[in-house]
Amino acid sequence: MTIALEGKTISTEDKVDILELSNKIERFKAGQIDEERFKLYRLTRGVYGQRQLGVQMFRIKLPFGRVTAEQLVRIADVSDKYATGNLHITTRQDIQLHYVKLEDSPAVWTELAEKNVTAREACGNTVRNVTASAEAGIDPIEPFDVTPYASAVAYYFMRNPICQEMGRKIKPAFSSSDADTALTFMHDFGFIPRIEEGQRGFKVVVGGGLGAQAMFAQTAYEFLPVDQLIPFMEAALRVFDRYGEREKRHKARLKFLIKSLGLEHFLALITEERKAVKHQSYPIETELDYAVPVDFFEPNVTTAKRKEKFDLWLKTNTFEQKQKGYHGVYIKVFLGDLSSEKARYLAKIVKKYAADDIRLTINQNILLKYVHQAHLAELFTVLDGFGFAEPGYDSIADITACPGTDTCNLGVTNSTGLAGILESMLREEYPELLEENHIKIKISGCMNACGQHMIGNIGFHGSSIKKDGKVYPAMQVVLGGGVDPTGKPYIADKVIKLPTKRIPDAVRAVLDHFAEYKTEGEYYNHYYERMGGRKYFYEILKPLADVSEGSESLLMDWGQDHHYQQAIGVGECAGVILDMIGTIINDAKEKLDKGSQALANGRFADSIYYSYSTYVVGAKAILLSEDIACNTHRKIITDFEEQILNRGLMSLDYSFEEKVLSINKREASESFAQELIQDATSFLEAVILYRNAEGADKEVIESYYKA
């Protein structure tokens, strides 16, 4: 596989990544790289295994959901050439391409990189795509535009050595205001803008997350000055990397570390780490010229023909920006699936009617900015002609759903098929709710919450019901999640498990009851709690759970004409496991080589962290060779001192623990970087000698490796 990059306008960083990916694929195909080790590598390059054998999902990383018209066209062209001609918008404001051949992934990246689009760290145990309120920059109630800060975080931590191989992924989010439209409360790091005494800053929340054990983020700071944003997050990631769980994957997220340590202790560790970070203050350039309005022209259409639809569209899909005379316009994209043909057409529309600053939203839709008020009728007409003017943005009929069993290994049931059935039902039977934007329906194909079901007022996640030797496709019903009009968050309650074919009846039951018993203007979650919450609605929905009198159709999932068969694969949402000591030592060598390169290039903080990683990975190799389990970096450091050095199995002329933990005691100077590289080199040589004295490579119990 040869990738020709000469003469292409691609960043140096992307060129290195693309060539390395191409090389790794060749070596993997030749049997020179273990499959699990290769999986760990490719995930951080956006290449994710699909449910279907032999093809990959290629995830594109688009910080804060921004894409230009030119980039959108290129993504569409690439999808036609290498994928299915579909662009799938995700709840993290990314775009995914499906059914990509592994050997084509370097070419996909190459063609995208020519338009400054990357796949680096779109998956894997990294800092994932930084999301932000799509309205940032034009939000009428924002204190200031958070876009430059989201951008700074995204690019500062991309390829940063402290967050390439953490125990689990990290998801940051920036909301444009207290309304929390970016849902910071469910993120590892959340930032909400504040101004105090004329100074910009952020309210900072940490440790939120959904999944099987949903948790609210906790407030770390009511006000953190903007120049401290990057130093704080870097220090926090260093703490997570060192103390985070790695053996038990389901306990490896930041929320569990904070729960274990306590917020106060976690923040104290961050304070300890602050001395060693690359920058004590990191000013962020705010004059970023993203959204430049198009020139005004006299519209040909001033009155839309389909007035009733136009009036509803104006009400549900547009809003007046803080910049007077301009409007934001939402385009509803069913399940986030945008065909390449429509993508190219949309790019043409944007160039004529809006700023070249398309934003993908967290509910899988699109926002156009800076549309002149006088152009709204003409824009509606143009959009309507191509199916882009469906009213009901962010309403109950704007359902969020992950791909489920369509493509995901972890999918249990067909979330997309159910979403289509529900949207049709809601539009036909409850048209008055198209203007209701305080009830959200969210669907995940499994409990892992990619469809964000735990923050749906009405939510579902894939499951199954086993009875009398039969297996029925099912959905776990959850109720009462979301964000109320004041910005207060709610995590949904698990209420009852129902056959998937009865979910439409469950939605009818819930909505009809709400219509009958709500008070004037009452928010759905307030009504839900007032009526009695989980126990009350369990009794309402319980009759639908009985499958004893059910028809044969209950044994089939939506979109299927055969009996349901549960087939759950292995997910790739995080890193994977290796099982050879020699491979682990090679990892340490790679860290040391990168540390030497960073030192030579004057990147002293990066070099120091690579030296630290060399120590930890090298120590891990020795511990595993002695059958000592490793579950956190911090425990590796202590166990190596106590179990290896203190027992006389290996000797050093210094305290290993003090040496390794010195990285947060001294500033990141050139002399310190040189000292650590030299010491780490000697240490790794000692590790290799120890290993050679033991003999051949040894297989390791899988669960022991994960730190």
Domains, the chain, with CATH or none? 12-113 (3.90.480.20), 139-276 (3.30.413.10), 307-384 (3.30.70.3340), 409-555 (3.30.413.10), 581-705 (1.20.120)
Residue holding tokens 């009198």?
549
Secondary structure element (H or E) that encloses residue 35, with its range: helix 35-43
CB atoms inside a 10 Å sphere around CB 648 = 7
Nearest to 150 by CA among 197, 207, 193, 91: 193
Q: Tell me, what's the pLDDT at 571?
A: 52
Q: What is the pLDDT of residues 449-486, one digit of tens each?
A: 888 999 999 999 999 988 888 889 999 999 999 988 88
pLDDT of residue 568: 53
Show the 3-state SS of 591-649. Answer: HHHHHHHHHHCCCHHHHHHHHHHHHHHHHHHHHHHCCCCCCCHHHHHHHHHHHHHCCCC
d(CA 354, CA 369): 6
Beta carbons within 8 Å of 239's beta carbon, 6+ residues apart: 266, 269, 270, 273
**Of 364, 509, 540, 543, which Cα lies nearest the Cα of 429?**
509
Global pTM? Answer: 0.90
Helix (H) or strand (E) holding 204: strand 199-206
* Tokens describing residue 595: 């540390």
pLDDT in the model for residue 577: 37
**428-441: b or e for each residue (b if 16 or more CB lie within 10 Å)?**
eebeebbebebbbb
pLDDT digits (tens, 9 = 90+) for 631-670: 899 999 999 999 999 999 988 888 999 999 998 888 899 9
Kindly report the CA angle at 192 between 131 and 326, in degrees rounded to 5?
Answer: 75
CA distance from start to end of the chain: 33
- The tokens 């450091």 sit on which residue? 637
What pLDDT, on a 0 to 100 scale, did the predictor assign at position 695?
53
Tell the residue number behind the tokens 């390395």, with chain if given. 20
Q: What DSSP assignment string belongs to 462-505?
A: EEEEEETTEEEEEEEEEES-EE-TTS-EEPPEEEEEEEGGGHHH
Residue 22 has a pLDDT of 94
Size of the chain in residues: 707
Q: Is the dihedral of CA 74, 76, 77, 79 positive or negative?
A: positive
Q: Is 461 in a helix, a strand, or coil?
A: strand
- Is the separation of the CB atoms in 454 and 183 below 8 Å? no
Q: Give the per-residue pLDDT at 494.
A: 94
- For residue 163, which amino acid is it? C
Question: Helix (H, G, I), strand (E, B), or coil: what is residue 567?
Answer: coil
- Render 288-352 in DSSP notation, one character per residue: ----PPPPP---S-SS-SSHHHHHHHHHHHEEE-SSTTEEEEEE--GGGEEEHHHHHHHHHHHHH
pLDDT tens per residue, range 163-191: 998 999 999 999 999 999 999 999 999 99
Sort strands 366-372 and 400-401 into parallel, antiparallel or unpaired: unpaired
Asked whether 342 and 389 are in contact (CB, 8 A), the reply is no
Low-confidence ranges of the chain (pLDDT < 50): 570, 574-579, 696-698, 700-706
Q: Are 59 and 119 in contact (CB under 8 A)?
A: yes
**How far, in Å, CA of 639 to CA of 633, rounded?**
10
Q: Which residues 6+ apart lie within 8 Å of 3 measured at CB?
A: 18, 19, 22, 106, 107, 110
Under DSSP, is residue 47 helix (H, G, I), strand (E, B) or coil?
strand
DSSP codes of every residue in 221-286: EEEEEGGGHHHHHHHHHHHHHHHS--SSGGG-SHHHHHHHH-HHHHHHHHHHHGGGSS-S------
